[in-house]
Amino acid sequence: MKAVLDHIGIAVGDIAAALAFYRDALGLEIELPEEVPSQRVRAHFVRVGEPRLELLEATAADSPIAKYLDRRGPGLHHITLRVDDLGAALAQLKARGARLIDQEPRPGAEGALVAFVHPSSAHGVLVELKQPRKASVPATGATRYQLGDLELISVSDGHVRLDGGAMFGIVPKALWEKQTPSDARNRIELAMRPLVVRGARTMLIDAGVGDKDDAKFHDIYGIDRSPALDRTLADAGLSPDDIDIVLATHLHFDHAGRFTVRDGSGRLRPRFPRAQYIVRRGEWEDATHPHARNRGSYIMDNYVPLADAGVLQLVDDDATIMPGVRVKRTGGHTMHHQMVTIESGGKTAAFVADILPTTAHLPDAWIMGFDLYPMDTLAAKQAFIKQAIEQQILVFFEHDPKVVAGYIRERNGKRIIEST
């Protein structure tokens, strides 16, 4: 384990007096305070070089900091060491008999995961271990896999932020937040990772959110298109002209946004000029006739221009789209949501889209609140996971901020994901 000093926490009884000293008398720069509701504390970080000072102000009488102040008065409260893998660090400490206050990582300030080690094990000092929030997608955003004769290239259209509660349905925040820290607006970060399949022809499955939306939309959904789809396609050696087929799992805006662009004259046109766009007929009908419950997810400018341009092909049933590539209706997320299976050389991969948007959604009950037919999601997901384990299917997680693809395995009754 490698640990570096991140900051030193100081419990403060009178924040105005403390700022008068650290900010005014010492002339240090104070960052904007951040509230950590679970600890009922407000943290004011003070810049003093790479490691920082953290002035901790209680926001409620039952806050751990308030109790500390009652007992010991203001003063040095904890030191924080930064580690790469907090789970591994805790396992190592446990194995060596250290007394832990937190047996498992929990959310701390700045979207990090943290856990405290008891002072009795750290020679009188309260030690906080911290795994910072990671900027997740690999720098180039294009990851290649060989599957028999087919080449699969995971590309990226950046990140979107969606409400954490809506992403995990009935699962309480106390549980999902351990897996996926949320920001001050309760949103979690999700990747948008379309997949390129290169074989007889070059196919793009889904296309991210695109760039047609206004600033308000970008703010609400925390959209960060770095790296954007054009960039990551270029990293993979592809231009929009190279795409022969664009296949939609469904038409939600985080999957179909880049299907179209606005040209210099403001006209909407297909982004991939040579491509035929393939959409399931039922999904097309739903997306062009939205109702109160799904209207927020569908933006007509993303797909209606495809019909106008004559590049749209609607398919009615499960079908082979190009050699080795089949679509299969899952339903659940939307009535006609479909997944894609890719087979070559005796190997299988699957692009499951919003049936298993992230690896956190592997347990049965972790189903998105967005889903229109959650019991159908459950059935589709159970059947798929069983098959994925038995047949060693390489599964792509379109929205997972960290894991591009992996193999689902079962260990001690728990579903996990492994890279080989």
Q: Minimum CB separation from Zn ion for residue 198, in Å?
A: 24
Residue (270 or 332) nearer to Zn ion, CB? 332
- Strand 52-58 vs strand 4-12: parallel, antiparallel, or unpaired? parallel
Cβ distance to Zn ion smaller for residue 198 or 252: 252
User: Could you tell me the two tokens for 119?
Assistant: 């002072």
Q: How far is CA 122 from CA 223, 294, 388, in A?
A: 42, 53, 45
**Least distance from Zn ion to the Cβ atom of residue 398, Å:** 7
In the complex, minimum distance from the CB of residue 352 to Zn ion, in angstroms, rounded to a whole number: 11
Query: Among residues 42 and 361, whose Cβ is nearest to Zn ion?
Result: 361
Q: How far is CA 302 from the centre of its chain?
A: 22
Least distance (Å) between residue 252 CB and Zn ion? 3
Residue nearest to Zn ion (CB): 252
Q: Which is nearer to Zn ion, 130 or 193 (CB)?
A: 193
**Nearest to Zn ion of 162, 197 (CB atom):** 162
Name the β-bridge partners of 12: 57
Both structure tokens of 346: 């005796």
Nearer of residues 190 and 394 to Zn ion, judged by Cβ: 190
Q: Between 245 and 274, how does the x/- string for binding to Zn ion read (CB under 5 A)?
A: -------x-x--------------------
Interacting residues of 414 by C-beta distance below 8 A, sequence separation 6+: none
Tell me the H-state helices in 221-360. Answer: 229-235, 253-256, 281-288, 304-308
**In the complex, what is the shortest distance from the CB of residue 346 to Zn ion, in angstroms, rounded to a whole number?**
30
- Give the shortest CB-277-to-Zn ion separation in angstroms: 17
393 contacts: CB under 8 Å, gap ≥ 6: 341, 348, 349, 350, 387, 407, 408
252 or 280: CB nearest Zn ion: 252
Shortest CB 174 distance to Zn ion, Å: 24
* Minimal distance, residue 160 CB to Zn ion, in Å: 8
Which CB sits closer to Zn ion, 207 or 321? 207
Query: How many residues belong to the site for Zn ion (CB under 5 A)?
Result: 3
CB atoms within 10 A of CB 220: 14
**Which of 52/193 has CB closer to Zn ion?**
193
Taking the complex as a whole, the smallest distance from the CB of residue 147 to Zn ion amounts, in Å, to 23
- The strand pairing partners of 5, in sequence order, are 81
Helix, strand, coil shares of the chain, percent, nearest 5, are 25, 30, 40
Give least dist CB 66 to Zn ion, A.
42
Distance CA(245)–CA(278), nearest Å, equals: 7
How far CA 134 is from CA of 6, 71, 294, 354, in Å, comes to 15, 36, 32, 23
Strand partners, 277: 246, 312
Q: Among 206, 211, 354, 400, which residue interacts with Zn ion (rule: CB under 5 A)?
A: 354
Nearer residue to Zn ion within complex by CB, 6 or 354: 354
Measured from the CB atom, the residue of 212 and 269 that comes closer to Zn ion is 212
**CA neighbor of 194 nearest in space, from 241, 229, 159:** 229
- The radius of gyration computed from the CA coordinates of the chain, to the nearest angstrom, equals 24
61: helix, strand or coil:
coil
Q: How far apart are CA 257 and CA 4, in angstroms?
A: 41
- The backbone torsions φ and ψ at residue 12, rounded to the nearest 5 degrees and listed phi first, read -125, 130
| Cα 240 off chain centre by | 26
Q: How far is the CB of 353 from Zn ion (least distance, A)?
A: 7
Is there binding between residue 400 and Zn ion (CB under 5 A)? no
For residues 269-290, b (16+ Cβ closer than 10 Å) or e, as one string? ebbbeebbbbbbebbbebbeee
Residues that bind Zn ion (CB under 5 A): 252, 254, 354
